[in-house]
Amino acid sequence: MISGLLQAQGHRVRHAGHGLAALAEIATGRFDAALLDLDLPGMDGLALARHLRAQGFGGRLIAITARADAEAEPQAMAAGFGRFLRKPVTGAMLRDLLDEAAQPVG
């Protein structure tokens, strides 16, 4: 669903069904941002974010989750995410988030 919302806004999207597939995608391509679910199969989004940052991925990392616990957002930020969204996600939410993320810092 999120891929479709992004494509409708003109973004080029690559979908990876699990953490290891995401690592392979990022190793072989250039990405401005990665939207990661915190509950990916195999390697969760928190571990994936830490791994990506350790490998030098400098793009925007955006956490997306259905988790309702209070610890989800601080855990995501500590793992290297710069933005955090709870599901359900709308096209407008994604647009605003990516517009904000594209702004230069400072």
For 43-91, write each residue's pLDDT tens digit.
999 999 999 999 999 989 999 999 999 999 999 999 999 999 999 999 9
- Sketch the domain layout of the chain as residue ranges: 33-106
**Residue 85 bridge partners (DSSP):** 64
Residue 102, pLDDT above cutoff 70:
no
pLDDT at 10 over 80: yes
**Of 103 and 41, more confident:** 41
Using the predicted structure, report yes or no on whether residue 40 has a pLDDT greater than 80: yes
Q: What is the DSSP string of 1-40?
A: -HHHHHHHTT------SSHHHHHHHHHHS--SEEEEETT-
Report the mean per-residue pLDDT for the chain: 90
Give SS3 for 85: strand
Q: How far is CA 81 from CA 8, 9, 19, 106, in A?
A: 24, 23, 15, 18
CATH class of 33-106: alpha beta
pLDDT digits (tens, 9 = 90+) for 58-69: 989 999 999 999
